[in-house]
Structure 1
Amino acid sequence: MAKALLIVDIQNDFTEGGALGVDGGDRVAEEVTRFVDTHADDYDAVIASRDWHDADSDNGGHFSQNPDFIDSWPVHCVADTEGAEYDPLLTTDAITHHVRKGQGTPDYSAFQGMTDAGEHLGDLLAELTITEVDVVGIATDHCVCATVLDALKNGLSVRVLQDLIAGVGKDSSTLALAEMDAAGATIA
């Protein structure tokens, strides 16, 4: 049984000072770097996702001048901008595959994204015979939750490393963790 680490959206726009900065984002970047430094050999693949939105569209209604912060958001993680880059506190040397999502569409789950070679995450994991994933990253109550739920729908065994995630809100993150747990993820 092969195992992968999924690093979700640890990007400049989602850490402190970014367009949609999450409290604790920089801490998560540092802690994930430490974790990968000591545990990379535990995984057959280390895969990182990034929001990578088109600059010249509203990305399927994802961007809004009057965001509701549920389905629409201020402009963030525009492709090829500093905001879309990985947080500098996240060391990317051990990442084996990069996934970009949200190119013209309002994607949350890393499973909606594709690698640079044009391969969907689910197909990549199947090709690598991955059956188990550990999930870390930002934001617990949005992209982490969506990724975990899709991983479970894809028949994977999922573990959420609770010390290596950060959410937008305390209550919404608590609800997201409960949803992931109820769906079958292990909250570790």
Structure 2
Amino acid sequence: MARALFIIDVQNDFIEGGALGVEGGTAVANGISKLLSEHREAYDYVIASRDWHDPESSNGGHFALEGEPDYRSSWPVHCVAGTWGAEYHDELTTNAIDHHVRKGQGEPAYSIYEGTTEEGGTVHELLDANGVTDVDIAGLATDHCVRASALDAIEHGRHVRIITDLIAGVSPETSRAAIAELAHAGADLVTSDLVER
């Protein structure tokens, strides 16, 4: 049995002050770094995703280039490949990350499973190749990419834990709904102080 930590989209554009900043995003970045400094041995693999959207493109309608975004399926421009907004937040310790995943290149993508590793493979292939059965999830945003990544991990047969003090969402209402949905789907809800080998 191997365990992985998914770090979902802890990027400048999703932190306070970014294009789609989430309240509590900086605290999440700090909390994940603290977890990795104290309990890196709890994880066989640390896998981090980033939105990495194409410039000068709607990315399959993901960017509202004309009219107002609906904040459900269309959004303001964010996390454009190669820009400051797409980079990991400075408070996130990146030297503990084993695999980097980019998603949303030319199309909408919320789940880490929709991304591509630096080696060109999928997260599903990566986990299977390394015998990963258990996945902990932290990051941004609870009600969108964390939710989608966790549901996909459950669908692919992983035992999933959501680290509830290391996530933050776009809105309290939709975040609560997402957490309830994930618990109903089989995810365990834990706090970072319970993470240990």
Name the TM-score class by shorter chain. Answer: over 0.9
- Take 1:75 and 1:128, find their aligned partners in 2: how far apart are those partners? 35
Of 163, 172, 183, 1:170 maps to 172
Gaps in structure 2 of 5+ consecutive residues = 191-197
Q: 1:52 is matched with which residue?
A: 52
Letter in 2 for 1:113: G
Aligned residues: 188
Q: How does 1:1-16 map to 2 (within 5 A)?
A: 1-16=1-16
1:98 and 2:111 correspond:
no
SS in 2 for 1:131: strand
The Cα RMSD (Å) is 0.5
Q: What's the counterpart of residue 112 of structure 1?
A: 114
Poorly superposed stretches of 4+, deviation over 6 Å:
none
SS in 1 for 2:167: strand
Offset of 1:56 from its aligned partner? Answer: 2.4
The aligned runs of 1:61-76 (5 Å cut-off) are 61-64=61-64, 65=66, 66-76=68-78
- Structure 1 residue runs without a partner (length 5+): none
Q: Look up the equivalent residue of 1:39 and give its one-letter code.
A: H
Corresponding position of 1:129: 131
My pick for the range that moved more, 57-66 or 83-92, is 57-66
**Counterpart residue identity of residue 148, structure 1:** A
Say yes or no: does 1:149 pair with 2:148: no
Q: In structure 2, what is the equivalent of residue 23 of structure 1?
A: 23
Deviations along 1:47-82, one digit per CA (max 9) or x if unpaired, are 000000000210110000320000000000000000
TM-score by length of 1: 0.99
- SS of match in other structure, 1:70: coil
